[in-house]
């Protein structure tokens, strides 16, 4: 990979981070104890570590042939047969990203469009009505899969007595390119990846009771591009119909795109008709996609080329505006960021760090704040090098401050909880983007986090405790709407107050987790008056 392409791929992981049904065959069940019956037909999973695990359940029709670039369609039933749900290799089309994604096999490129599958971990497929946790993966809406080993739901299901679901959705051009200007019949195609996720959440609502889950108590959890997607759903009509609670990890509405930006990105494609795209082999389409991104969206922009957008129909307006007006008033929200999001790019070396800092100063800093730029920069440089100050400003503009704005907007309607993850590997580049995932899942797989595995091995006991605390908080929130157990003494972590101005209580996750009121509030306040509109660039 050329250096610019590598940088773009790494940037894609900032917003993190064979889609074939061949392994999901219809046959007789060999795991009677891990079998359930849905209105679609019987499904057989596998017993593992005290759980029943179902891998590769189709939630929508294959988006192939005439369905390419179309909204997801209902899946056909298999009544009278048993679906063997053991396919743990589904990956939606993408060039393999070797920097951070934790793929289930070693294929260099994934080209099977038949990839709309989900996975379920459950203590038992009974009638217990357990809380349901649905995870939406990140990867710049361009990389990643629900079948990454780091996203294994076993610990969440076991420790929380919960039903855990992970899902695939269409990536890159196939899921996020707005083609309405090429053909009005395809208007809205730029949110098809979001529609896939909504279809999966609808499937969960309709069928999770058959796996021992409570369809009235669904918590959607998204990281990076997954969090951007879930935040976009907060601006749809009645998001409470999709989930009762939501967890947004390193992502909020500020990077949901504007319609103008989405259309400009689509205009960079070197095609003149829908027919060209519909007939193009997947491998060729991926090649064109990567060349287009390298030219039109270099560096960090490559991480923002794809994703949900405010189309006025599905996503009805800017996320924080809609939330402040009460659009999500029936949804509980927990959200946060890592302390050094943009330091993720340190894995490419000092030159990459400087390139990202320069791109921030030249491209991303808001023109509306030009008159305050010198003052803001001087504050961020207190105790930091110029490079670190730029990266800290980028983290705050892109991730931390928009998340706090969203939390403050929702706090008018419901108790809302904010965290910051601050553990730094001794030999790494800080608390970088995606670093919380090995702890939140309890898998301790540190892909794309330099020094992470070594740091964990050197401090295993304390970091295992940190993971246990996060698992407890996430599953307790999913069960009750608060991360605190009723008896706070039952947990080794401090009581986590709801986020409200002016205290702005924040859980600071680390080996000694604490509550801080308005951490780095002087820097947060520098952004007052800036609205963080849908993502766009001049």
pLDDT digits (tens, 9 = 90+) for 168-201: 999 999 999 999 999 999 999 999 999 999 999 9
Residue 460: predicted pLDDT = 98
Catalytic residue among 137, 207, 305, 433: 433
Other residues' Cβ atoms within 10 Å of the Cβ of residue 241: 13
Quick: pLDDT tens for 391-425: 999 999 999 999 999 999 999 999 999 999 999 99
Mean pLDDT score of the chain: 93
Residue 166: predicted pLDDT = 98
Decide if pLDDT at 9 tops 50. Answer: no
Record the pTM.
0.94
C-alpha 163/C-alpha 132 separation (Å) is 5
- Average pLDDT (263-288) is 96
Helix (H) / strand (E) element for 64: namely: none
Percent of the chain with pLDDT over 70: 93
- Average pLDDT (303-330) is 98
433 is catalytic: yes
Phi first, then psi: what are they for 163, rounded to 5°?
-95, 125
Question: Dihedral through CA 316, CA 320, CA 321, CA 325, nearest 10?
Answer: 100
Asked if 516 and 339 count as a contact pair (C-beta separation under 8 A), the reply is: no
305 is catalytic: no
Asked if 42 and 29 count as a contact pair (C-beta separation under 8 A), the reply is: yes
Decide if pLDDT at 5 tops 90. Answer: no
In angstroms, what CA-CA distances link 147 with 223, 311, 351, 426? Answer: 15, 30, 33, 29
Residue 487: predicted pLDDT = 57
Quick: pLDDT tens for 444-500: 999 999 999 999 999 999 999 999 999 999 999 999 999 998 754 446 799 999 999
Domain residue spans of the chain: 3-525
C-alpha 212/C-alpha 437 separation (Å) is 25
Which of 25, 495, 94 is closest to 282 using CA atoms? 94
Question: Domain spanning 3-525: which superfamily?
Answer: Alpha/Beta hydrolase fold, catalytic domain (3.40.50.1820)
From 22-36, 69-83, 181-195, 363-377, the region with the lowest mean pLDDT? 22-36
Catalytic residue among 17, 100, 189, 224: 224
Asked if 505 and 515 count as a contact pair (C-beta separation under 8 A), the reply is: yes
- Average pLDDT (305-331) is 98
Residue 537: predicted pLDDT = 87
- Average pLDDT (256-275) is 96
Residue 29: predicted pLDDT = 35
With cut-offs at 50, 70 and 90, classify the pLDDT of residue 345. Answer: confident
* More confidently predicted of 488 and 211: 211
Other residues' Cβ atoms within 10 Å of the Cβ of residue 105: 11
Residue 529: predicted pLDDT = 95
With cut-offs at 50, 70 and 90, classify the pLDDT of residue 303. Answer: very high
Other residues' Cβ atoms within 10 Å of the Cβ of residue 264: 15
Decide if pLDDT at 1 tops 70. Answer: no
Which of 441, 463, 470 is closest to 156 using CA atoms? 441
Residue 491: predicted pLDDT = 61
Q: Which residues contact 302 (CB under 8 A, 6 or more apart)?
A: 7, 8, 9, 11, 12, 140, 293, 294
C-alpha 209/C-alpha 247 separation (Å) is 22
Catalytic residue among 113, 178, 321, 341: 341
240 is catalytic: no
């Amino acid at each position: 990979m050329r250096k610019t392409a590598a940088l773009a791929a790494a940037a894609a992981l900032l917003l993190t981070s064979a889609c074939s049904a061949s392994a999901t065959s219809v046959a007789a069940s060999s795991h009677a104890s891990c079998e359930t019956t849905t209105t679609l037909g019987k499904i057989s999973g596998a017993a593992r570590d005290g759980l029943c695990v179902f891998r590769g359940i189709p939630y929508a029709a294959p988006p192939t042939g005439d369905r390419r670039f179309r909204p997801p369609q209902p899946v056909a039933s298999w009544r009278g047969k048993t679906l063997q749900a053991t396919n743990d290799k589904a990956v939606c089309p993408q060039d393999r990203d070797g920097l951070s994604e934790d793929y289930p096999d070693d294929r260099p490129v994934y080209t099977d469009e038949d990839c709309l599958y989900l996975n379920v971990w459950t203590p038992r497929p009974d009638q217990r009505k357990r809380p349901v946790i649905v995870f939406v993966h990140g990867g710049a809406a361009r990389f990643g899969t629900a079948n990454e080993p780091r996203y294994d739901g076993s610990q969440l299901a076991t420790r929380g007595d919960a039903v855990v679901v992970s899902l695939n959705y269409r990536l890159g051009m196939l899921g996020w390119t707005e083609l309405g200007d090429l053909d009005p019949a395809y208007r809205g195609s730029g949110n098809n990846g979001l529609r896939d996720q909504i279809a999966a959440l609808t499937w969960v609502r309709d069928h999770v009771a058959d796996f021992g889950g409570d369809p009235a108590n669904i918590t959607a959890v998204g990281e990076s591009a997954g969090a951007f997607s879930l935040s976009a759903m907060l601006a749809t009509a009645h998001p409470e119909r999709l989930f009762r609670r939501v967890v947004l990890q390193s992502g909020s509405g500020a990077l949901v795109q504007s319609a103008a930006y989405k259309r400009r990105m689509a205009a960079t494609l070197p095609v003149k008709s829908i027919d060209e795209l519909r007939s193009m082999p997947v491998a060729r389409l991926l090649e064109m996609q990567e060349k287009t991104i390298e030219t039109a969206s270099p560096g960090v922009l490559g991480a923002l080329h794809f994703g949900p957008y405010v189309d006025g129909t599905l996503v009805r307006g800017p996320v924080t505006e809609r939330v402040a007006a009460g659009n999500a008033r029936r949804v509980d929200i927990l959200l946060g960021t890592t302390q050094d999001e943009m330091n993720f790019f340190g894995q490419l070396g000092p030159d990459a760090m400087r390139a990202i800092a320069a791109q921030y100063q030249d491209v991303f800093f808001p023109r509306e704040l030009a008159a305050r730029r010198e003052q803001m920069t001087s504050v961020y440089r207190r105790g930091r090098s110029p490079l670190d100050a730029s990266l800290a400003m980028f983290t705050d503009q892109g991730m931390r401050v928009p998340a706090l704005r969203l939390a403050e907007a929702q706090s008018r309607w419901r108790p809302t909880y904010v965290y910051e993850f601050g553990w730094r590997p001794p030999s790494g580049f800080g608390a970088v983007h995606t670093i919380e995932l090995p702890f939140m899942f309890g898998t301790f797989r540190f892909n794309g986090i330099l020094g992470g595995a070594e740091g964990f091995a050197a401090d295993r006991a304390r970091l295992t405790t940190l993971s246990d605390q996060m698992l407890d908080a996430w599953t307790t929130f999913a069960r009750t709407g608060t991360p605190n157990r009723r008896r706070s003494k039952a947990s080794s972590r401090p009581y986590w107050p709801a986020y409200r101005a002016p205290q702005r209580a924040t859980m600071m996750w680390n080996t000694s987790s604490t509550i801080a009121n308005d951490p780095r509030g002087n820097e947060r306040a520098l952004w007052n008056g800036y609205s963080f509109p849908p993502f766009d660039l001049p």
